[in-house]
Structure 1
Amino acid sequence: MEEVKGVLKHVLLAKFKEGVSEEEIEKLIKGYANLVNLIEPMKAFQWGKDVSIENLHQGFTHIFESTFESTEGLAEYVAHPVHVEFANLFLSHLDKVIVVDYKPTKVVLS
């Protein structure tokens, strides 16, 4: 196995509170996506909704994935005033949240 150099993934699983409208969720997602334009260490952003047929989502409905080049870049992002302000707004709309950071590893088959 081989660690992917210069890549760190920040994954957030979310369940929005009841009563948060689809329009509000869309606005929050656009705000989250825009962080990549405002915070230099954030290199990429993707998101999606749960579509699993296994029903193991435990109520989480949305996944958000951000890419950074290093743990230092992630730390800079987490402490950045724009992120702090957005996170306070975003988290206030969530019922449940899980955050996982990981360094991707390629499986090299011989």
Structure 2
Amino acid sequence: MEEAKGPVKHIVLAKFKDGIPPDQIEQLIKSYSNLANLIEPMKAFHWGKDVSIENLHQGFTHVFESTFESVEGIAEYVAHPDHVEFATAFLPNVEKVLIIDYKPTAVHL
């Protein structure tokens, strides 16, 4: 992976398993968002549900976006005990997940 200094986005697309109660999904999302308070390189967290009219979501229903200070910050986050604990609770509740990390590039028009 290319070493990147500066902000890096960590995108997680998820489809929760059928039958997972909404309050359980809400609790998982709260736990996910709380990681920004526990893991220093995680600078921001946003999430939302798919609202696209194009129907190209391939079944993914939720989007989670975290901002990190660097690629190294993501590595620190992935290995952090609080993230490991969260992932252990989160992953059994999702049918599928896709994770992409990228360094934003400005477009000059």
TM range (shorter): over 0.9
Flag structure 1 segments of 5+ consecutive residues without an equivalent: none
2:8 corresponds in structure 1 to: 8
1:31-70, aligned counterparts within 5 Å? 31-70=31-70
CA distance in 1, matches of 2:30, 2:98: 20
Q: Cα deviation per residue 1:23-67 (whole Å; 9 max; x = unaligned)?
A: 001000000000000011100000000000000001000000000
* 1:27 aligned partner: 27
The CA distance in 2 between the partners of 1:93 and 1:35, in whole Å, is: 18
- In 2, Cα distance between the equivalents of 1:100 and 1:57? 15
Superposition misfits of 4+ residues, deviation over 6 angstroms: none
User: Shift of the alpha carbon at 1:6?
Assistant: 1.2
Gaps of 5+ in 2: none
Cα distance in 2 between the residues matched to 1:52 and 1:59: 12
CA distance in 1, matches of 2:94, 2:12: 11
With the length of structure 2 as denominator, give the TM-score of the two structures.
0.94
CA RMSD of aligned residues (A): 0.8
Paired-residue identity, %: 71
- Structure 1 match to 2:88: 88
In 1, Cα distance between the equivalents of 2:16 and 2:90?
9
